[in-house]
Amino acid sequence: MPKPTVYYQRLAGKVAIVTGAGSQGEGVGTGKAIAYQFAREGARVCLVDQHPERAEETLRMILADGGEAFVAAGDVTRDEDCARFVEDSVRRYGALHILVNNVGVASRALPYEEYPPEQWNRILDINLGSVFRMCRHALPHLTANPRSAVVNISSTAGLQGMGSGPYGPSKAAMVQFTRDLATHYGGKGLRANTVAPGHIFTPLVDGLLSEELRTRRRRIAPLPIEGDAWDVASAALFLASDEARFITASCLAVDGGVTEVAPLTAFDLVQG
């Protein structure tokens, strides 16, 4: 979808943390799009990224359009860094209302017996462990506010078998973690939901997909188009806003409907 041009201050007065807020390469990735849209909707945003130069680019984009944000450089696999991201946000802005766990890394598709254990554990630690660490430190501040939200960015690889090594299992576990988070903390006013992107074209996958594969991805879904980072950001914005006040423990697939298509139907679409 095109970059949004109309905003309604749906997050006015809110303070948000977005992990992985920079983009790898040219263009706009999901973290950058989420952080930008949250800021344009009135939130003050902590831009977390291991590569500060990437987050600085997001910051420049936000400031140029009148938003408010700051960069917090660090590593979400380090507990002390996760604590610092939360502490810096609360110290700077006085509160915390929204946490978006967007950091994630893909993995090679290898037979399991060939997968190096250290690589397997690293993927799980980044994709799932970081969510636990960020939530662990953010929850006391989130639950201090009556309408707080956690939005975790999973993947359709966590909803269906895709032969993606540890990536799919880590994203599936994220969905279940989010359900349990919603169950445990709903009584304190916290909502927790997941966005599962699929068939999204971002700078992270640019150069990894041939035109032939991109065309095939478009054809396989009921909507014969390709999603982008703004589609994911719009879903995250809705779930973080008070418009979704009665939605929690849900998983919203942003995938053009591909996870709902029967395999034989999809095969016929590709072959036809």
3-state secondary structure of 158: helix
> 28 and 1 in contact (C-beta within 8 Å)?
no
Choose the catalytic residue: 36, 93, 167, 185: 167
Rounded to an integer, what distance in angstroms lies between the CA atom of residue 98 and that of residue 255? 24
167 is an active site residue: yes
Rounded-to-integer distance, Cα 169 and Cα 210, Å: 26
Q: Cα separation of 251 and 192, whole Å? A: 10
User: Rounded to whole angstroms, how far apart are CA atoms 253 and 97?
Assistant: 23
The rounded distance, in Å, linking the Cα atoms of 254 and 159 is: 12
Annotated catalytic residues are 167
